[in-house]
Structure 1
């Protein structure tokens, strides 16, 4: 789903010690006075719906690559931040321990095509994972692509990759410096040689869809952008093309477009039998249209299955003319439905009814449906027949998150991943006939997971809503401790248990990691999402603030030891709650955040977010956005906690101008206290995907040492 493109889960690392009551409750260290770089103010005031809105740092929206003045400001800010970070006693510890914790063997989910098994592997500290192939499940691994030699800094990554149906060819995407733009190349799997094919300007496309005969593939892309606006302008006119191998991209055949509606985006799949092209069309929300094209007929005329973009329709698979979809139509927690495309006017019928839990994913494997559900934000996997009879529940290792179950509808096997806060990803093979599962790739750990406690508690938000929260800490930890509180709260995205070496380092040092499943996500279906978007967005902030109050009131977080952290939409969250309750948090880190809620829709992917945030050019939405926009609600007269914002120069998902403007205003506003308000700006780095491990470790050792310093973590022994 397109939503998942807007979430970046960055990993990190960690060591071991348990705090005592007295050490964990110590006051944070005093902060020195700071001489921040002087950011010029410009006279920009725009009246919107009768409200004058000042934007004195508008010039910081300019691309750092094209504006020397912005580049100079960035350099000056990084110097101030680096100088302070060098004084932190935890910085060296975190870097050393995170490096050790990251040094474990990792595998990605295998993809089976034509008897070949493709998968990614990382020996531990490789900046980028390497793509391998095996001939047969137990065949000898053979390296196909090692992106680690593509650039000196490790910031050029292998992104999406898709083998042809017979496994003889591989189309793969190259991502450079963290940008969302992709370049696609084609490789001969047997020889490892590259073909001449090279396709550009793919973005948010999810890879390619091979034709059954392997002569080419379908894909979607945007027109080439104006050079100086490559990383900032909004993207329009998404189109689907067919690329015939051996021909230039300029000769690609246009398959589907909506010229009259340039904001629509189109995503393409080919059915397992190779007969059907399945096209999903959306604009800003998860609601989508679905068209199918019979590739056996001349003319490639689309057949409309679902139109009007009133509901969500996720293609699962087909059995001949019978197509299966996961949908929220008349089912806020989702159900599985089927429709016969061979019958004119046929309506969809329920196969697997809506359950009491939220349906998160469905696959068709081995003539069965495997459905993943969220039970209070924890995974459960159930197996159904194609007629909807429940056959079994797949045994999972515990509280955690399951993913995968990919493959062809006729495959007798599939693979799934399982991870939790104290368990790195393990890959399992599942036999669809016998229902037996077995570990296919299990990592050797660099810590003892049995020393880490994972529990779930529930707390009440401001309006009485019960909200789940995971609490992760060392077993035997007693008394309040420095606590990291993480949240996201948006875009129908569920935040479920996952492994992060940085959090293990924090916990080993004596801290607590808490994840609040606040509204705005999909943990409890559409109602949970709707309860945290548009006019209800304040519920997200209230849920997070209530989580912080709960942690302190129940003796989990130290009285002066609560840190807030979030990225992207979670960066917006941290910025907003810091404005609202600076007294609650002792240190905060908004990462790659959406900080200007009145101009977010003018850049790159921002126009997609109006479904969650609203339209800044509509009066009702404007007034709501203005109440919580982090940039516009910075005010003096109250002491802000220690703050380190994080962004990157090549972030073309949430452009860095958001964080630039926010920190410039915060630093210039009088009466915000003496704690440091810093920004860390990475180079040749984007929103998160494709980031090399060295950069991840450097960033999180900086951020966690900063948060630890101001929550008393570096005094726990």
Structure 2
């Protein structure tokens, strides 16, 4: 079959779609007659901005940054706000977030002195004190200085149960691509000639002290179309990575192949989790001699092993088991691929009120985070004989509970408790039941000044959509309250109540503003179905939900078009982009962070191909037909009065291409629509790489919002 016309025009090399070339051409001509500019990337005059480090594109970025700095950063008010935010975020009274490992608490700490951060530890007994005595392990600032590389710490994986050796992940400037280095935890130094890699998007897991499983860029033909490892090797100590044998090889079209290792007191299992799509998983389990592909439904989430059983949740109905259920399956049945209904035990089944948001496997129990009407709860599950008993962790009404950590080699477990106006408190139990507070964060918000209410609004199709409204008590319903509406709505990510301190919301509330958190479709607030209801051809539902909330805020007198702004980043950046292009009349401010915007080319840029199952494939004419209706970049119309949008991104973002924000901003300015633009030269998809940069970006956003909604 000859290459279809679509492929020639886009200059790409994706898998072919099984339609005849003639059908492509006819469909192309039809779409071309509708909107010539949205079909051919050859007609896109802004493709040069996709050259991330191109001289011309970086000169444009510098010019835009200078305009933004001149406009917003020169005043004393900005400088005071920036210094205030930085001081508060560097406060030594912050909770030192830590995890339990081998009787000690490990923490990664950043402050004004340790800008890049320091990895450190203390005894559990010391951690309970107001001022723990910390022992420094690795100083990232010193490492960056010694090696002349802008290293950012991305985490460590230490080999249980001795925890003597660790695999440390380091990123240059905050990219998803990392370098992995073996580290001797006792000697506090990197292991020469150890398991040390070169930069790439990669994943590695210990098998034993002398072997790791690693998926990385091994050279030509080893990465898939999404830019993630296609192959996994079993790397033996003393070998070069090039010499290591391939343990598993996936296909170019599939999304990911992750090494999977479970080392617990009750056994060790390892293999590969293969992702045919972003939302599906296939388990390949090693039986001691070979990898065995396990016959399970693909719409699953594998959580790990517990007492010779696999623990997983399902995202669609399977036989007699409901979507959203948590299940247990014996390993022997898995390896024999002889699974029937009697081999599957139900741990939890959704009842229409509670939905799973997270699972943690401990030594003797499972801890499951639940969402009940968008509020977080935790349920403990203990196995007795052949049944699972459950018990809610109680005593934390009107708060969101999250699993903070759980140790598989002891019975130590930790939970965090917070809400919009109350900071996180950390509770610990050594028996999994009797939780006692061990840490609490100083509250930078006066909860007596504010109120939180959960409201519901009917979307365009009649679906009831929840949102949280946080405001000062006794506000006037005169339509004049400066209001920010925040949203995400994708990838089954939920937005339950969480503490607003240290975020844009805290400073906005302190300035007299109103902050709104939406729980639109596409998220996971009501389980898999809530997410699946806004996939692909139904994506517009998420935008309709968001618009419905905005209209409700106006009709209820909370705010008005002149005082309403919207905020979103990443997929949320696409949300606000689609929303302001569809309803520019509703908003006076838009913060669009590290966004997807050009949905015609998103699957060609960095990790974009991995999200086709969320948005659809623009190379498929039938799917492009619905994508093109909301793609922000293609739906800009000359002569339309748009709000002045604040775009921000990062040059080092290797997940969502900075070209999305760049091209949208340039296109708008060329159409005569003013914008505000800021691009940090490091930070990756987070947008910033340290507290100082985050504080600056936060102050910049607040200056913009005050300018547009308050002044």
**Matches for 1:468-617 after TM superposition, within 5 Å:** 468-479=466-477, 480-500=480-500, 501=502, 502-558=504-560, 560-617=562-619
> Unpaired runs of 5+ in structure 1?
1-43
8 Å CA contact retained: 1:315, 1:324: yes
1:404 equivalenced with 2:407 (yes/no): no
**Any conservation in 2 of the 1:158–1:690 contact (CA below 8 Å)?**
no
**Partners of 1:179 and 1:484 in 2: CA distance:** 29
Alpha-carbon separation, structure 2, partners of 1:219 and 1:496: 35
**Counterparts of 1:608-687 in structure 2 under 5 Å?**
608-670=610-672, 672=673, 676-687=674-685
Retained in 2: the 8 A contact 1:642–1:677? Answer: yes
Change (3 A) 1:437 1:641: same
Aligned counterpart, 1:38: none
Call closer, same or farther: CA 1:150–1:461 in 2, change over 3 Å. Answer: farther
**Does the 8 Å contact 1:106/1:425 carry over to 2?**
no
Residue deviations 1:577-606, cap 9 Å, x none? 111111100111111111110110112110
Matched, 1:341 2:315: no
TM-score of the superposed pair, with normalisation by structure 2: 0.85
1:431–1:136 CA distance, 2 compared to 1 (3 A):
closer
Match for residue 32 of structure 1? none
Please report how far the alpha carbon of residue 369 of structure 1 lies from its aligned counterpart in structure 2 after TM superposition.
Answer: 1.8
Other-structure match for 2:709: 711
Assess, with a 3 A threshold, how the Cα gap between structure 1 residues 619 and 559 changes in structure 2: closer, same or farther. closer
1:658 is paired with a residue whose SS is helix
Task: Specify the alignment match of 1:75 in structure 2.
Answer: 62
Deviation by residue 1:609-642 (Cα, 9 ceiling, x = unmatched): 1011000111121011110111110012321112
Aligned-residue offset at 1:178: 1.9
Q: 1:279 to 1:412 in 2, by over 3 A?
A: same
Whole-Å Cα distance in 1 between the matches of residues 406 and 425 of structure 2?
A: 16
Which residue in the other structure is 1:303 paired with? 292
Q: Give the corresponding residue for 1:326.
A: 313
Q: Are residues 1:255 and 2:250 paired?
A: no
1:690 shift after superposition: 6.6
TM-score of the two chains, using structure 1 as the length reference = 0.84
Higher relative contact order (CA 8 A, sep 6+): 1
CA distance in 1, matches of 2:675, 2:417: 38
Structure-1 separation of matches of 2:229 and 2:346 = 35
Q: CA–CA distance in 1 between the matches of 2:205 and 2:169?
A: 13
Describe the SS at the equivalent of 1:607.
Answer: helix
Give a deviation string over 1:371-422, Cα, whole Å, max 9, x none: 11111222100112222222333443633351334321x5211123334333
Q: CA deviation at 1:654?
A: 0.8
Assess if the C-alpha contact under 8 Å between 1:600 and 1:606 holds in 2: yes
Query: Alignment partner of 1:557: what SS?
Result: coil
1:268 paired residue among 260, 275, 282 = 260
What is the deviation of 1:520? 0.6
Displacement after TM superposition at 1:662 (Å): 0.8
1:159 — aligned with what? 154
**SS in structure 2 opposite 1:316?**
strand
Q: 1:445 to 1:332 in 2, by over 3 A?
A: same
Q: Conserved in 2, the CA contact under 8 Å of 1:367 and 1:385?
A: yes
Contact persistence 1:429–1:439 (CA under 8 A) = yes
Cα shift readout 1:154-191 (whole Å, capped 9, x = no counterpart): 96311021122112122210012121101111221122
Aligned to 1:3: none
Alpha-carbon distance in structure 2 between the residues aligned to 1:257 and 1:225:
13
Mark the CA change 1:290 to 1:106 in structure 2 (over 3 Å): closer, same or farther. Answer: farther
Structure 2 Cα separation of the partners of residues 406 and 607 of structure 1? 34
Selected match of 2:346 from 350, 362, 373: 350
- Change in Cα spacing, 1:496 to 1:332, as seen in structure 2 (3 Å) is farther
Q: Check 1:572–1:135 CA distance in 2 against 1; reply closer, same or farther (3 A cut).
A: same
Q: Does 2:59 correspond to 1:59?
A: no
What secondary structure is seen at the aligned counterpart in 2 of 1:634? Answer: coil
- Tell me which moved more, 97-106 or 150-159: 150-159
1:548 deviation in Å?
A: 0.9
Cα 1:176/1:417, change in 2 over 3 Å: farther
Q: Distance in 1 between matches of 2:687 and 2:306?
A: 32
Does the CA contact (< 8 Å) of 2:254 and 2:277 recur in 1?
Answer: no
CA distance in structure 2 between the partners assigned to 1:405 and 1:538 by the alignment:
37
Q: CA RMSD in A?
A: 2.8
Tell me how many residue pairs correspond in the alignment.
650
Sort the Cα spacing of 1:106 and 1:269 in 2 relative to 1 into closer, same or farther, 3 A.
Answer: farther
Structure 2 residue runs without a partner (length 5+): 1-8, 12-24, 38-42, 128-132
Is 1:159–1:175's contact at 8 Å kept on the other side of the alignment?
yes
Distance in 2, Cα, partners of 1:161 & 1:335? 31
Equivalent residue in structure 2 for 1:94, among 81, 91, 95: 81
Provide the C-alpha distance between the structure 2 equivalents of 1:279 and 1:659, rounded to a whole number of angstroms.
36
Is the contact between residue 271 and residue 318 of structure 1 (CA under 8 Å) also seen in structure 2?
Answer: no
Q: How far 1:341 moved relative to its partner?
A: 2.0
In the alignment, the residues of structure 1 paired with residue 28 and residue 75 of structure 2 have an alpha-carbon distance, to the nearest angstrom, of 47
| Whole-angstrom CA distance in 1 between matches of 2:349 and 2:173 | 44
Equivalent residues in 2 for 1:50-449 (5 A)? Answer: 50=29, 51-52=31-32, 53-54=36-37, 55-65=43-53, 67-86=54-73, 91-104=78-91, 105-107=93-95, 109-122=97-110, 126-138=114-126, 140-151=133-144, 156-165=151-160, 166-196=162-192, 197=194, 198-203=196-201, 205=203, 208-211=204-207, 213-224=208-219, 234-245=226-237, 247-259=239-251, 263-272=255-264, 273-294=266-287, 297=288, 299=289, 301-307=290-296, 309=298, 311-320=299-308, 322-330=309-317, 334-343=324-333, 344=336, 345-347=338-340, 348-356=344-352, 357-386=354-383, 387-396=387-396, 398-408=398-408, 411-433=410-432, 435-449=433-447
Structure-2 separation of matches of 1:56 and 1:471? 41
Give the Cα separation in 1 of the matches to 2:608 and 2:617: 11
The whole-number CA distance in structure 2 between the counterparts of 1:533 and 1:704 is 33
State whether residues 155 and 176 of structure 1, in contact with CA within 8 Å, keep that contact through their aligned partners in structure 2.
yes
The structural deviation recorded for 1:524 is: 0.8
Aligned mates of 1:56, 1:689 — CA distance in 2: 26
Q: Specify the alignment match of 1:10 in structure 2.
A: none
Alpha-carbon distance between aligned partners in 1 of 2:664 and 2:121, rounded to the nearest angstrom? 46
CA separation of 1:662/1:607 partners in 2, compared to 1, >3 Å: closer, same or farther? same
Shift in Å, 1:703: 1.5
Kept after mapping to 2: 8 A contact 1:335/1:350: yes
- Report which stretch shifted further, 279-288 or 240-249: 240-249
1:27 paired residue number: none
Deviations 1:326-349 (A, max 9, x none): 223426651111112213303333
**Residues 476 and 125 of structure 1: CA distance in aligned 2, closer, same or farther (over 3 Å):** farther
The range that moved more, 599-608 or 500-509, is: 500-509
Give, in whole Å, the separation in 1 of the partners of 2:561 and 2:633.
28
Q: What is the CA-CA distance between 1:439 and the residue it aligns to?
A: 2.3
SS of the residue aligned with 1:209? strand
Q: CA deviation at 1:247?
A: 4.5
574-583 or 148-157, larger mean C-alpha shift: 148-157
